[in-house]
Amino acid sequence: MTAKTMLAARLRAVGEPLTIEAIAAPAPGPDEILVAVAACGLCGTDIHLAVEGDIPVARKPITLGHEAAGTVVALGPGTGGFAVGQRVALFPSAICGKCRFCRAGRESLCEASQVYGMSRDGALAQYVAAPAIGAIPIPDGVDFLTAAIITDGVSTPFHALRTRGRLQAGEAVAVVGCGGLGAHAILLARMMGAGFIAAIDMQPEARARAAEFGADLVIDPVAEPDPVRPIRRRLGRGVDLALEFVGLPQTVEATLRCLDTGGRAVVVGVGPGRPVLPPLISFVGREQTLMGSFGMDKRDISDLFDLVMRGRLDLSRSVSGTYPLAGVNEALGRLARRDTGVVRLVIEPGQ
């Protein structure tokens, strides 16, 4: 038995606090499950949606929140693989499970994807209805807070490193932009056996955290506008794999400059800018690669759950604060101020 009404954090107007409202609890439709949300992470996307307004939402009001973990409390028709009481995390968008990308396990590219809190009501609420195809069982030994941040904050850099960047043990890596995603990229690259990790960030706190998470070399791009120089001094060459988490033309260009001959650059940061490629004589002649990496696939999330469960990956430093639903605006404020002590913040709507 679930409640008829629930509390939800809703976006009514960009730049104004989210309103905590009592609204009708959703009912699971065909192929959907109803999840009682235990934890929902916040990220930079929520700032774009709620504070800056540069990513539009499909309608207002809308319940935000796309990094959810909780317990199945009701099943719609056709959800036989799941059971009431099961702990699940949700892929950050409602995926179709039927398009050519979903069928190939490339859910990041689902052609009918509806992001929670953007195209449909999200998980900053006591309950969320979700297609069962996007629900990922959480193993025992992985808590809800960790599961919630894995769905986006950890799986996005994992997808960039593994699925797109194809990091090999022993390779040299550079990470440009060491906020929540970049910090986790460093932690994951180290776990995956990177031989050398350079971290580039303007913020001293972010550089200190990068070193703590496993970077061998931290670079202040204000003091060293050409980051490849300190990398070359230390390594004698550029890196094999460089990841960009900022989304500005100049940071993408700096990422490309970090590459060795044969190197791969993976851009995760998004924005309207248009970076300039290196001269073709060098980009082509040195067989360099530039690629985008968008979100994650379901397999990235479930593999990370296994890595945490087996003690291979320690995310104990990743949650910088938890808040009840009523504290959501305080948490968003910390993110919007770019409070540099923050890796990830998580809302617990059940508290």
Choosing from 68, 102, 124, 315, the residue that interacts with Zn ion (CB under 5 A) is 102
CB of 262 to Zn ion, least distance (A): 32
CB 167 within 8 A of CB 158: no
Beta strands in 25-60 (DSSP E): 32-42
CB of 348 to Zn ion, least distance (A): 16
Alpha-carbon gap, residue 209 to 215, rounded angstroms: 9
CB of 217 to Zn ion, least distance (A): 28
How many other CB atoms are found less than 10 A from the CB of residue 116? 27
Residues 131-170 that bind Zn ion (CB under 5 A): 152
Instruction: Copy the structure tokens of residue 224.
Output: 């060293």
Regarding 345 and contact with Zn ion (CB under 5 A), the answer is no
E strand or H helix at 209: helix 204-213
Choosing from 23, 55, 99, 211, the residue that interacts with Zn ion (CB under 5 A) is 99
CB of 55 to Zn ion, least distance (A): 11
Return the number of the residue (227 or 295) whose C-beta is nearest Zn ion.
295
Return the number of the residue (65 or 263) whose C-beta is nearest Zn ion.
65
List the one residue out of 286, 284, 253 whose CA is nearest residue 269: 253
Q: Residue 296 phi/psi, 5° resolution?
A: -155, 165
Q: Which stretch binds Zn ion (CB under 5 A): 28-36, 78-86, 99-107, 311-319?
A: 99-107
Return the number of the residue (14 or 99) whose C-beta is nearest Zn ion.
99
CA dihedral over 167, 170, 173, 178, signed as positive or negative = positive
How many other CB atoms are found less than 10 A from the CB of residue 2? 15
Residue whose pair of structure tokens reads 């700096």 in the numeric block: 254
Regarding 96 and contact with Zn ion (CB under 5 A), the answer is yes
Return the number of the residue (124 or 267) whose C-beta is nearest Zn ion.
124
Q: What does DSSP say about strands 135-137 and 87-90: parallel, antiparallel, or unpaired?
A: antiparallel
CB of 112 to Zn ion, least distance (A): 5
Tell me the per-residue interface mask from 33 to 62 with Zn ion, x by CB under 5 A, - otherwise: ----------x-x-----------------
Alpha-carbon gap, residue 340 to 182, rounded angstroms: 13
Q: Which stretch binds Zn ion (CB under 5 A): 94-102, 139-147, 297-305, 311-319?
A: 94-102
Contact footprint for Zn ion (CB under 5 A): 43, 45, 96, 99, 102, 110, 152
